Structure 1
């Protein structure tokens, strides 16, 4: 038969893009938009823009931490926590 791995849980395909965007573009909240957290993404984006970048490093640090957390979680735990559980922050 086929030597393909079993299909991953629905939503696990967002783990790597969200993690990488969290690490690289965390201050803009791009990783939040990828996961469908529009409100949280807008908050991060507005905080970075409306403070003229003064609080962008803090938003970037939050994005960095979240990106690393996304990437180190197993696929099933990531899906249960962030896709099904809709945990918006950390």
Structure 2
């Protein structure tokens, strides 16, 4: 999958399913994805509120980056948060 495809998929998943950390798994950032998923599930849903906000913000950030910036920051450097 191309960087642009990853960017679009990660952005949409971040906005729609950010609380579950799906956007992190799309970017092959397994540990942050598991953290977001476990916080959301193990807190009986209360942790899903802040995780959803984080996911939404990250989704917007992903979609607003240029393809080159996104590739450098999130694919090459594997930046996990924001």
Please list every run of at least 4 consecutive aligned residues from structure 1 whose deviation after the TM superposition is greater than 4 angstroms. Answer: none
| Structure 2 partner of 1:43 | 35
CA RMSD of aligned residues (A): 0.8
1:26 and 2:11 matched: no
Q: Which runs of 5+ in 2 are unaligned?
A: none
**Larger proportion of helix:** 2
| Structure 2 partner of 1:5 | none
Tell me how many residue pairs correspond in the alignment: 81
CA distance in 2, matches of 1:13, 1:68: 15
| Structure 2 partner of 1:7 | none
TM-score w.r.t. structure 1 length? 0.87
Q: Which runs of 5+ in 1 are unaligned?
A: 1-9
TM-score w.r.t. structure 2 length? 0.96
Residue 13 of structure 1: CA displacement? 1.9
